[in-house]
A and B are shown apart, each in its own frame.
Chain A
Amino acid sequence: MIERLIQPVSTFAGDIDQLFFGIHMVVGFWFFLVQGMFFYLLFRYRYREGVPTTYVTGKEKHLKKWINIPHILIILCDVGVIFFAVQTWYNVKQNLPEADATIRIVSQQWAWSFVHPGEDGELGTDDDIKTVDELHVQEGMTYHFQLESRDVLHSFSVPVFRLKQDAVPGRVITGWFEPMHTGVYDIQCAEMCGIGHGIMGARIHIESAEDHAAWIASKKGT
């Protein structure tokens, strides 16, 4: 459902979209079933002249099963939801695949600065490329990011990646992503961080290998 509204651009975006879709199918099924029953009863037992009400306590076995069976089925559905949720979570947040490159993301009121590894592919060397509010990555590479904050909480969110991670001052939080398609997309700050929270955006440029190399070359010496 999500992919109709916004393109999936990271390797795990599809998994999250599927999980979202799957959960909606499960809860949607129950939702319509229960609502259907609800409106049926409302119609069936509406007030009619001369038709008396009945005395039912809820202890009758033949009626109680209408509650107990769904009850057990819902537990089963819950187990399914939990299983797939945890699996996706594990792949996105807990298990970091081997990185091709690492970038550093520093958030502060109200801008993003990004440190790219530059030509040697290593962070923390002289040829690191620093940018503000624009992040350049190469399609098909696995990135690790180290997320920091200089002041308050922020949240690094790239909707097309389905990725979000809060930045906490005093900590460095590591995560990963692998972009799939070239293009330019929004980065947003997703945690209230003060007056400028609403404008704390940036852009992510996903480039092909050549374009990315060209960009790095163009930044040489700056």
Chain B
Amino acid sequence: MSEPASTHHAHGHGAHDDHHHEENFFLKYFWSTDHKVIGMQYLLTGMFMALFGGFFPYVFRMQLAFPGISVPFYGVVSPTEYNALVTNHGTVMIFWVAMPVLIAAFGNYLIPLMIGADDMVFPRLNRLSYQVFAVSVVVIIASFLVPQGGFGGAWTAYPPLSANPDYNLTPWGSTLWLVAVALEFIAFLIGGINFITTAMNSRAPGMRWSDVPMVVWMICIASILFMASVGPLMAGAVMLAFDQNLGTHFFDPKAGGDPILWQHLFWFFGHPEVYVVLLPATGIVAEVITTFSRKKLFGYKTILYTAIGTGVLSFFVWAHHQFIAGIDPRMANVFTVTTVLISIPIAEMMFLFIATLYGGSIRFKTPMLWALSFIALFMIGGVTGIPLGASGSDIYLHDSYYVIAHFHYTFFPIAIIGSFTALTYWFPKMFGRMMNETLGQVHFWITAIAVNGIFIPLFVLGAAGQHRRIYNYNHFAQLSTPDLQALRILATVSLVILLLAQFLFLFNFFYSMFFGEKASKNPWKGCTLEWTTESPPGHGNWPADQLPTVYRGPYEYGVEGRDEDYWPQNVPN
């Protein structure tokens, strides 16, 4: 199993020759074990789900801005539908957009290319991971087509509401929702094991751990975090499923169960989960800012330590979602301390990214604009986590729109901006063509401005006492004032603008895929290994006898005494 790398030639060559025959379309795109194809499958599925995840807020925000109207392309929103839309918006965005795009799509696509391997170590397991994921997609979509409609008990699915159809009135929706989420977890566990073992074992000859590109590190750390935190929730999901369908009472206080137990299991996963999506996005940003500022990453190892530190700390903060949930009030103090302290590694990471710009030669191409806007906007989300983590002020802010605004200022930069950063940056590699720069910039500016138009009003609304998951504020005298309504309308209008701008992107994406200008191997002059092969890379990524060997770190930009301002990892000298 573990022969030295030099013996690979013969073996690899044989394997490569097998693939010169034409595969039929089905085998090539649906039954492939090629990590690039699987990455693409995840990407397109994630983008498809983003259409749902983006359409739902359009519907429910229209309802909030203009209560009771018949929403164009949807109709009148009933309270049940409102709840189901919000619940599934949250669930879909996190589990079917952020995770598949940031981790699975780019993890699959980039890990082998960036570590100089021809594929994942377990290609068939990889295919299985996508297939399980595809089933989960079908199940979650099915969950809102069943009688009584989709699950509406919030993405946190707190029992007893979620456990008992007498309370939630969606016997089918809630079970299918749970099954879909569990399947998705399984897909990511399989995928994660594959990512981690690949990165650990299959690096190109010469690649030390400090030569591994940051995004690979981040995806692996995220996969480990996910793996370590999701277990208890898997167990909890089994228990909840039994409560729903077999009549057990794990979470039902009337028969000796405990609803708070679920909250612990959920948030023990839920909080690390936010860093599971954060870290890959920061990894992507690290790649892009180094390339476009022509700078070595400032403090590579320190960034790594901050990521690991964040990951470790994230296991000790979960109860900050439960300060007022009826847990022992003394516990809140412990969790306030850990929560506020997590600002330290994250602040440090942001500082290091910003310090990377120092002394550079910054080019504001579309991917760079996205990466920079990630830093600028994520910081808003980050600092507003502090008033929430401070137990005293969370008494007021909990479950208000302040929380909503806080986490959209983290999630939007991560899931949407992070994805755009990665897509625009690696598009030439993935499809062999360049995206249109002008369209890309127009799309960037509209999106980046509109997102503030959505979520800044929500901070104000939250501070004014507006609660979450309420389909019509007219029932509350203090919340139905014209001033507050104006803010709601502002948010909704900004959202509509933002959504319309996405058509620019989709057009650019599909148009450039077929008609864009042909891309060279290394259009951005990057140092990492994926830029040393064809765009798009062929089967096996490199000809089997030319797999790269690594001589240096991934960010050697501007080294003195060289003609070029970059020094690819695979060039001997």
Contact = CB atoms under 8 A, between A and B. Distances in A.
Direct contact of A and B (CB under 8 A): yes
Interface of A: 1-2, 5-6, 15-16, 19-20, 23-24, 26-28, 30-31, 34-35, 37-38, 41-42, 45-48, 51-59, 63-64, 66-67, 70-71, 74-75, 78, 81-82, 84-90, 92-94, 109, 151-153, 155, 157, 159-160, 162-171, 173, 184-186, 188-199, 201, 203
Contact of B392 (A19, A45, A165, A173): A19
15 contacts: A31-B383, A45-B293, A53-B565, A55-B557, A55-B558, A57-B296, A57-B299, A71-B347, A94-B329, A168-B259, A169-B254, A192-B83, A192-B154, A199-B475, A201-B475
A56 B356 CA distance: 8
B245 interface: no
A2 B387 contact: no
Q: Which of A57, A74, A166, A190 has the most CB of B within 10 A?
A: A166
A81 B181 CA distance: 37
Given A53-B295, A74-B347, A162-B395, A170 B329 contact: no
A28 B383 contact: yes
Contacts of A155: 324, 399
B469 A194 contact: no
Interface string B336-355: 11001101100110111011
Interface residues of B, number: 97
Contacts of A199: 79, 472, 475
A92 B395 contact: yes
B478 A58 contact: no
A16 B160 contact: no
A198 B472 contact: yes
Contact of A56 (B296, B363, B393): B296
A165 B380 CA distance: 27
Q: Which of A48, A85, A203 has the most CB of B within 10 A?
A: A85
Contact of A20 (B298, B302, B387): B387
Interface in B466-525: 467-472, 475-479
Given A35-B376, A58-B300, A67-B348, A198 B395 contact: no
Contacts of A189: 467
Interface stretch (B111-119, B161-169, B441-449): B161-169
A74 B324 contact: no
Given A19-B393, A42-B362, A169-B160, 19 more contacts: A16-B393, A23-B390, A27-B383, A38-B375, A53-B295, A56-B359, A57-B299, A70-B351, A71-B351, A78-B343, A82-B340, A84-B390, A89-B332, A151-B160, A153-B259, A192-B153, A197-B79, A198-B472, A199-B472
Contacts of A188: 465, 467, 470, 476
Interface string B389-418: 111110111111000000000000000000
Contact of B333 (A15, A51, A89, A191): A89
Given A55-B557, A71-B344, A85-B393, A196 B383 contact: no
Contact of A38 (B347, B376, B380): B376
Given A38-B354, A88-B393, A52 B379 contact: no
A194 B362 contact: no
Counting from the closest, the 10 A-B pairs by CB-CB distance are A170-B253, A88-B392, A159-B465, A85-B390, A58-B299, A53-B558, A54-B359, A53-B294, A5-B464, A27-B383
Nearest to A173: B326
A93 B391 CA distance: 10
Q: Which of A5, A31, A189 has the most CB of B within 10 A?
A: A5
Interface string B362-374: 1110000000100
B167 A58 contact: no
A199 B78 CA distance: 12
Contacts of B384: 27
A43 B400 CA distance: 37
Given A56-B298, A186-B478, A192-B153, A89 B392 contact: yes
A66 B387 contact: no
Given A70-B351, A71-B348, A197-B83, A31 B340 contact: no
B270 interface: no
B158 interface: yes
Contacts of A57: 296, 298-299
B470 A198 contact: yes
Given A94-B329, A194-B153, A66 B478 contact: no
A75 B392 CA distance: 19
Contacts of A6: 463-465, 478
A159 B478 contact: yes
A55 B463 CA distance: 46
Contacts of B330: 94
B307 interface: no
